[in-house]
Amino acid sequence: MQELVATMLLMYGVSVRTANRAAQAVAILSEWRPDVLLADIAMPGEDGYALVRRLRALPPPLGNTPAVALTAYTDPQSVQNAFAAGFDVHLGKPLEPHVLANALLKALQLRAPK
């Protein structure tokens, strides 16, 4: 799924970095500031909830990076947990490329400086 989503994003001309674990994502974030973080909830080790909580604990501007949860967990409690952890948008799998693009734009708009 990670490769498929990366390919979708590349179709839109987006620069992509991928990580298989939260710790790897944090290491990438220490070197590269993305416009949006797209994270699965079900990752080995630390889950996506923990990753976004770590992100939100960082000082701005990195801690204010828009975050989108992409997950098979679409029940109401999982959606609520995603927002409580600090995600800006919740997307259920499977998804279409235009839905992903719209979610990324929405996340950017939600975190845009006012």
Q: Where are the alpha helices (DSSP H) in 12-95?
A: 22-31, 48-57, 76-85
* Cα–Cα distance, 76 to 19 (Å, whole number): 27
DSSP state of 64: G
List per-residue pLDDT tens for the chain, 114 residues long.
Answer: 889 889 888 888 889 999 999 999 999 998 999 999 999 999 999 999 999 999 999 999 999 999 999 999 999 999 999 999 999 999 999 888 889 989 999 999 998 876
Give the total number of structural domains in the chain: 1
pLDDT at residue 95, as a whole number? 85
- CATH number assigned to the domain comprising residue 43: 3.40.50.2300
Closest CA to 71 of 101, 46, 49, 97: 49
pLDDT at residue 36, as a whole number? 95
Q: Which domain holds residue 23?
A: 2-111
pLDDT at residue 21, as a whole number? 94
pLDDT at residue 114, as a whole number? 67
